[in-house]
Amino acid sequence: MAKVKQFIFFDFEMLCANKGLTFEAMEAIRLGAVKYDLETEQITSFDQFIKPISTKPLSNFCKTLTGIKDEDLQDAASFKVVFKDFLTWVGGVKKSRFFSWSPSDLSRLKLDALKHEVSQSTINKIEKRYVDFQAIFTKRVSNSNVSVEGALKLYELDFIGEKHNPMYDAYNTLRIYLQFLDQPLASDLIMLKTFIFETEDFPIEQMNKQLQRKLMKEVSSFSEKLIYFI
């Protein structure tokens, strides 16, 4: 596998309704992404609407949730054309690693690629280089699935940009990743709070004392149970 030179964080907005719509029917209607150059640390962006196969008007629920209007999709290109533009913008799948916040974006990519007869070889290459960053963050930091905005709050950061705009969702996911990568102590402290202290919140200077108290409490409880069984 070629040396990774850039990270691609991507996100789809999809057809949606408050009930009665299967994931298969939730076609992509907007693709947003950011590209992070590992050498220069330069960030560039991609954002395009996608015209779905479905000709039904967007539900009021979907318009409210995504901010996307029917007029935005009328002159939009098809998934196949937008994905081709996306690959041109990426500039090389083999030198890239792809990230999203939850595996639903990869699933959406695979389903719509099949519908639009996009090269499965290309999709397979992306899948081999794909990382579900939410899963890693949950396992290493948050101890539960949180939203992009929720993960930012753990680092005391605010969401930048327009919410439910997939390009900004991708950009903020990159911000979380960089915090996770560059601030290991902060990530470890968040992990301690979420895994050990759960909802309790202690200042850093009190963390060791609280950890000792919790450990002593657990040891005491275990000793009592051991005596009972003896």
Q: Residue ranges of the domains in the chain?
A: 6-186, 196-229
pLDDT of res. 18: 85
Residue 216 pLDDT class (50, 70, 90 cuts): low
Residue 187 pLDDT class (50, 70, 90 cuts): confident
Average pLDDT over residues 153-168: 95
Q: What are phi and psi of 29, to 5 degrees?
A: -125, -5
Distance CA 43, CA 62 (A): 29
Sheet holding 28-37, edge to edge: 43-49, 28-37, 6-14, 96-100, 130-132
- Give domain 6-186's CATH number out of 3.90.920.10, 3.30.420.10, 3.30.428.10, 1.20.1300.10: 3.30.420.10
Beta carbons of 7 and 36 less than 8 angstroms apart:
yes
Residue 2 pLDDT class (50, 70, 90 cuts): confident
Query: Which tens digit of pLDDT belongs to each residue from 77-124?
Result: 999 999 999 999 999 999 999 999 999 999 999 999 999 999 999 999
Beta carbons of 53 and 27 less than 8 angstroms apart:
yes
Tell me the range of 92-101, 139-148, 175-184 where mean pLDDT is highest.
Answer: 92-101
Residue 226 pLDDT class (50, 70, 90 cuts): very low
The set of residues, in sequence order, having a beta carbon less than 8 Å from that of 73 and lying 6+ positions away, is 29, 49, 50, 51, 52, 58
pLDDT of res. 113: 97
Residue 203 pLDDT class (50, 70, 90 cuts): low
Beta carbons of 134 and 176 less than 8 angstroms apart:
no
How large a percentage of the chain has pLDDT more than 90? 73
Beta carbons of 62 and 16 less than 8 angstroms apart:
yes
The set of residues, in sequence order, having a beta carbon less than 8 Å from that of 187 and lying 6+ positions away, is 140, 141, 179, 180
pLDDT of res. 224: 47
pLDDT of res. 229: 42
Of 160, 26, 51, residue with least CA distance to 105: 26
Distance CA 79, CA 111 (A): 11
User: Quick check: 218 pLDDT over 80?
Assistant: no
Residue 68 pLDDT class (50, 70, 90 cuts): very high
pLDDT of res. 215: 46
> What is the pTM (predicted TM-score) of this model?
0.84
Look-up of token digits 């690629």: 113
Beta carbons of 29 and 13 less than 8 angstroms apart:
yes
Mean pLDDT of the residues in the chain: 88
